[in-house]
């Protein structure tokens, strides 16, 4: 059988397979229409109907077998794909509500409100110490008396000079009075000389002498008035000098500017103290403040009125709450090393602790951000390998469901959930490292003691700079 005959037979079989009747044209028509397709000597089989039926049946059986194999493959694939996925062992916990915090920790020192240290105004000798440590003092109460021998001698000398100038002023008053009396006598004599000259009893030379004497007396009065004015000004100047010296001496009396308690007395009677030397310290025990020297990195995150928790450095300390009172806008460097610069800040306790010792070192925890009663999950539960963060939720039929969430405040251990979950939802908080969950995958939860909960409680972010 030639290739052309096989092509024709295939076409017939395809029509039979599609359920169509096949009417074979007469041999003469085939020969006429396609003489080159089927040679005349190979067309004898077309005259036999049984032969044509056998060929069609073979093609129908072949096509059915192909269809049967395809259907069997599809059924097998569906059977395999519908088999349940293997169960994955995970750790779950319910979503809870808790307080969430971001904090930094710095070291500080305790001070009392209005605390100050008095220093010597000049080189002085301590004359008297009128208070003792831990003594309560009232505003204006004298604490120390100092003696400046040079200044005291200056005052004594000034008082002597004041007395001399006072006497000079008094003498000038007397001189003025005397010269005014002489002037009155000279003017009276001149008047008598004028009358005698008119009557011809004296000469004009005598009259001129009396007139000159009156003029000289008038000049002496003017000079005396000038000297008296100068003496009065000198007395006034002496009073100002004396007052200044007395004020300087009063500065050597140290008085309390506020109601306070004496923290430290650095001197005793008879001690010589150089200028700016420490004398004593006081502070208001009704207020306690914490002085901080913060790193520039931490200071950039801190603002006035942020909550703080103060505790003594050590195990199981008592905690005292307060707020940031002041943050310096400028960093201060030690020497020329700008890398060691720090920013000064001050915090005030809400109420006196009764336990913190002024000058002692304390740990100060500063709350940068906080959320009260927030919906939180552990950071291990949050998945970030998609465009939107999500968590795996364990459904009622113990299968995994992917749930997108909106997150808020984040710490090293917990994340705030703003939307997507509710309190009580059971979420996967731990997966084995080599496991990848798919939606609908069965989950098994082992009975573990101490499994992590969804809420982590207040979380501290440790920041370098605290001791």
Q: What is the pLDDT of residues 1-19, one digit of tens each?
A: 444 444 444 444 444 344 4
| Assigned domain for 429 exists | yes
pLDDT higher than threshold 90 for residue 40: no
Residues 430, 391: contact at Cβ < 8 Å?
no
State yes or no: pLDDT of 391 exceeds 60. Answer: yes
233 and 205 inside one domain? yes
pLDDT score for 66: 79
Is residue 319 a part of any domain in this protein?
no
DSSP-assigned letters across all residues of 311-332 = EESSSS--EEEEEEEEEEEEEE
Gap between the Cα atoms of 292 and 348, Å rounded = 11
43 within domain boundaries: yes
Q: What is the reported pTM? A: 0.56
Helix (H) or strand (E) holding 15: helix 3-17
User: Which pair of tokens denotes residue 314?
Assistant: 């050590």
CATH label of the domain that carries residue 433:
2.40.420.20
Report the alpha-carbon distance of residue 253 to residue 256 in Å, rounded: 10
pLDDT category of residue 252 using cuts at 50, 70 and 90: confident
Residue 88 pairs with which residues in a beta bridge?
Answer: 443
Q: What digits encode the pLDDT tens for the residues 104-123?
A: 999 999 999 889 999 988 88
Total domains, the chain: 3
How far apart are alpha carbons 31 and 306 in whole angstroms? 106
Both 164 and 92 in one domain: the answer is no
In-domain check, residue 364: no
Q: Are 319 and 311 in contact (CB under 8 A)?
A: yes
Residues 6+ apart with CB under 8 A from 53: none
Look at residue 246 in the predicted model and tell me its pLDDT: 84
Residue that finishes a domain, picked among 214, 236, 251 = 251
User: What's the rounded Cα separation, in Å, for the pair 221 and 179?
Assistant: 5
- The parent domain of residue 156 ranges over 149-251
Q: What token pair was written down for 177?
A: 């009075």
Candidates 355, 358, 294; CA nearest to 115 is: 358
């Amino acid at each position: 059988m030639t290739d052309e005959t096989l092509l024709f037979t295939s076409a017939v079989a395809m029509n039979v397979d599609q359920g169509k009747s096949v009417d074979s044209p007469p041999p003469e028509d085939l020969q006429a229409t396609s003489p080159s397709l089927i040679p005349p000597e190979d067309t004898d089989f077309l005259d036999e109907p049984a032969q044509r039926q056998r060929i069609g049946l073979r093609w129908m059986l072949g096509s059915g077998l192909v269809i049967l194999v395809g259907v069997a493959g599809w059924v097998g694939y569906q059977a395999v794909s519908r088999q349940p996925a293997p169960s994955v062992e995970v750790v779950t916990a319910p979503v809870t509500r808790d307080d969430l915090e971001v904090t930094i920790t710095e070291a500080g020192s305790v001070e009392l409100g209005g605390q100050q240290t008095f220093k010597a105004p000049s080189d002085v000798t301590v004359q008297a110490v009128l208070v003792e440590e831990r003594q309560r003092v009232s505003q204006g109460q004298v604490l120390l008396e100092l003696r400046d021998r040079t200044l005291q001698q200056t005052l004594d000398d000034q008082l002597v000079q004041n007395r001399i100038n006072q006497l000079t002023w008094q003498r000038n008053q007397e001189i003025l009075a005397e010269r005014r009396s002489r002037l009155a006598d000279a003017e009276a004599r001149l008047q008598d000389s004028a009358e005698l000259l008119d009557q011809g009893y004296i000469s004009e030379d005598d009259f001129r002498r009396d007139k000159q004497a009156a003029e000289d007396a008038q000049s002496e009065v003017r000079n005396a008035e000038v000297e008296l004015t100068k003496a009065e000004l000198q007395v006034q100047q002496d009073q100002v000098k004396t007052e200044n010296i007395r004020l300087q001496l009063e500065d050597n009396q140290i008085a309390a500017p506020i109601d306070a308690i004496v923290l430290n007395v650095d001197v005793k009677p008879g001690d010589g103290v150089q200028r700016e030397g420490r004398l004593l310290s006081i502070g208001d025990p009704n207020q306690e403040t914490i002085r901080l020297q913060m790193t520039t990195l931490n200071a950039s995150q801190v603002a006035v009125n942020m909550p703080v928790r103060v505790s003594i450095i050590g195990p199981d300390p008592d905690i005292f709450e307060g707020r940031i009172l002041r943050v310096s806008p400028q960093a201060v460097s030690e020497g020329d090393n700008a890398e060691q610069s720090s920013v000064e800040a001050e915090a005030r306790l809400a109420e006196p602790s009764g336990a913190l010792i002024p000058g002692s070192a304390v740990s100060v925890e500063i709350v940068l951000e906080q959320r009260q009663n927030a919906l939180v999950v552990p950071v291990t539960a949050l998945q970030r390998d998609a465009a939107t963060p999500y968590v795996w939720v364990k459904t009622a039929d113990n299968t995994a469901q992917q749930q997108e969430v909106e997150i808020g405040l984040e710490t090293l251990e917990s994340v705030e959930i703003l939307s997507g979950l509710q309190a009580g939802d059971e979420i996967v908080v731990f997966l084995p490292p080599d496991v990848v969950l798919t939606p609908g995958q069965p989950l098994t939860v082992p009975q573990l003691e101490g499994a992590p909960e969804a809420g982590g409680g207040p979380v501290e972010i440790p920041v370098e700079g605290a001791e």
